[in-house]
Every structure is written in C-alpha cells, then in structure tokens.
Amino acid sequence: MILAIDIGNTNIVLGVFYNNKLIANFRLATDYLKTTDEYASIIMLLMEKNNINVKDFRGVIISSVVPSLIYTFSKLCRKYLNSDPMIVGPGVKTGVKINIENPKEVGADRIVNAAAVISMYGYPSIIVDFGTATTFDVIDKNGSYVGGLICPGIKLSIKALHTGTAKLPEVEIEKTDRIVGSNTIRSIQSGIYYGYLSMVDGIIERIIDELKCDTEKLSVITTGGLGSIFVEESKYLQVYEPNLTLEGLRIIYEKNN
C-alpha cells in the first residue's frame, strides 16, 4: 500500500492506494498549530477504524503548499509509519516538463495535478482546480506545462462579501434555478455561481485562442471541492476528478520507484 498526502491551505487530504487503486481517503482541516503527535493521533485512529494496517505501507508521498507542515508530516511518517516520505519538489521525477520563467514558483499541487492529467488524459489540456484559490493550469500540445492563472477561490469571495458589507449574509454556494435572484440569499448565490461559471468559461475560451488549441483534442479537467457543481453548466469543463491530486501523487511515486 501507498499513502498519499496532499497538504493544502484549507484541507489536508490523505489517500490510501492498494495495487494502484484508491481504497480510502480522508480529509482533515489544515491547522498550523497542531503538533506531529496530534495529527498522528487523528490519522492513526482513522486508519484503525477503516481496518488499514499502517505496517503495510511500502511508502509515503507528500505534496504541500504549506512549508511549515512539511516538517510536521515528515516527522509523523518517520515516527509513526516507519517511513521516510517522498516530498514532491526538486529532484523528484514527475513526468511534467515545466516551461515557465521560474519553475520553482509553481505550487507542488499544480505540478501533481498536471502529472495526473498528462498520464490519464494526455495533452493539450487545461486543469481547473476549485480550491482555496481557483487555479487554471495549462499543458500545451507538446506536453509542456506552460503556466496558468490564479483567481480568488469561491469561499474566499463569499467570506469577503460577508465581512466587507454591513448586511449581506454568508451563504452556502449552490446552483440556482434562475439567474435573477428574488431575495438577498438567492441573489448572492446566483451572483457567485453564474459569476464563477462565466469566469471559468471565459478564461478557457481565451486560453484556447491564445494557444490556438484544437478543441477536439483538448481535455478540460476540473477538480477541487466545488468543481462538481460547475461541470453540467459549463461549455468547456468535461470531467470532474475529485481525487486528481491523490492520483497524481500515486503516479509520481511510481515514477520514482
């Protein structure tokens, strides 16, 4: 078995793979103040409740956009899992050719997602990740990662709208039946949903024009917690892959072993 750990700004996602198949996954809130032992107590309990013997792990791979937690989880792996984890970064083979001004600037999660899409769907391709930030990553017709866009995430936008106004409530994001809201909550939900939908489709259109992509050969994959609600209405989003980053971690681990 392999344990894949994706440490994000909002959530930490763990995936357990057996024979290249994801058999269990868990989501924890990212807490910068938790100690190694505190995280370990939660993870070990989750494994036990799902009948997963940590002694069966043959390796651990970690992707993190939170530098301080790399040490925490590396120590956890050595202390509790008897494993020296692979950290996605310089020196690790990913199968992704990075063609941007400063490759070190690219978040590990974005490279991991690119590795997954190249392996699973080929190229050219666009990845839309609805995380803390909404990101677009582009792989050109030659299979090179050529950059992307970073936009405020949906939940960040909702929170900013609530905290920056005197009377607007914080709402749950959902697709509304009508674009014109008949009350305040519906108006906010419609504005967020259709605003982001229009942004996503508009940006993808501009990427296609800039790269001169053949749309018949282009794969457009979405992931992240809220990605699923946009696939049906989008003109361009084709597939929702909720475990894209975990699959990318597994693929990278196998490339290095």
CB 186 within 8 A of CB 242: no
CA 40, CA 30: separation in Å to the nearest integer?
13
Q: How many CA atoms within 13 Å lie on the side-chain side of 12?
A: 21
- Please state whether beta strands 97-98 and 86-87 pair in parallel, antiparallel, or not at all (unpaired): unpaired
Residues in the chain: 257
CA 251, CA 115: separation in Å to the nearest integer?
7
Close Cβ partners of 48 (under 8 Å, ≥ 6 residues apart): none
Q: What is the DSSP letter of 20?
A: T
Neighbours of 172 (CB within 10 A): 8
- Which is the catalytic residue, given 6, 109, 129, 137? 109
Enumerate long-range contacts of 146-154, CB under 8 Å, 24 or more apart. 146/99, 146/100, 146/211, 147/100, 148/110, 149/203, 151/199, 154/130, 154/192, 154/196, 154/226
Residue 201 bears catalytic tag: no
Catalytic site positions: 109
